[in-house]
Amino acid sequence: MATNAPLPKNHMVNSFFGVRDRSAFTSAIQSAINEIASGGVFAGDNLFTFGRNLSFLHDSAFMEAFERHVDNPIEKATIWRIYLLSWAARRALTLNVPGDFVECACYRGTSARILSDYLDFGASGRNYYLYDLFEHDETNAHLRLEAHSSSLYEQVQQRFADLDNVHVTRGKVPEILHEVSPEKIAFMHIDLNNAEAEMGALKLLFDRMSPGAALVLDDYGWLAYRQQKFAEDPFFEALGYQVLELPTGQGLIIK
């Protein structure tokens, strides 16, 4: 190792899902961490690993954007997922993949805002299309999340008020895509928590992805959303693709 190489950092957030006894689970994780000599520990978002470089923690531009916009433990725990999005989006710009950026659904706009700052998206000459219902009622199939409210749409619009090329659209996917969506896509992130909605988006938008474009499926590897994997695998296999399931729970395809 070079003498000027940074020491490995740790990233530990007590944010895990599907745990029966949170206190016992947290205690067990801490006991395991106490026995680790190498450092490079990541714990959170249902992922526990050690002895890793965790290179994203040493990316100062990314960390500045991340720390500027993340304000709760759940978002803090998803840093590895957000960095994967940043990698895929940056790749589209670096390789000059034709097209705009798409995110279905954006929720509070946190990951899209981090990417926008990290990539200086305002100067990219491209558009970023964000979609969400922003509210929840019992007729909606998607998961109710804490920030869903009648004011969330306006809050997300305000979050991107300084970026004219970021378009926040309220509506149900895939129906709203027939009204507002780009003709060419360089990067797409889908996080709809619903198999029917995700398949609707893919059937409409996947053909619009340019060669070399990256698609990130946020829910693909999570047992709680297994119906999405079961619906999407045959769709992609028929087109000659195989989704790469990542330890973060995401799925990745490079077109």
Domain ranges of the chain: 11-55, 59-254
Per-residue pLDDT tens for 25-64?
Answer: 999 999 999 999 888 999 999 999 999 999 999 999 999 9
Evaluate whether the domain defined by 59-254 bears CATH number 3.90.1150.10.
Answer: no
Residue 245 CA, chain-centre distance (Å), reads 14
Portion of the chain with pLDDT greater than 70, in percent: 93
Q: What is the 3-state secondary structure (H, E, C) of 6-57?
A: CCCCCEECCCCCCCCCHHHHHHHHHHHHHCCCCCCCEEECCEEECCCCCHHH
Tokens of 200: 């609707």
Per-residue pLDDT tens for 177-190?
Answer: 999 999 999 999 99
Average pLDDT over residues 5-11: 81
Per-residue pLDDT tens for 84-139?
Answer: 999 999 999 999 999 999 999 899 999 999 999 999 999 999 999 999 999 866 66
Average pLDDT over residues 154-160: 97
Contact 77, 101 (CB under 8 A): no
Terminal-residue alpha carbon distance, the chain: 36
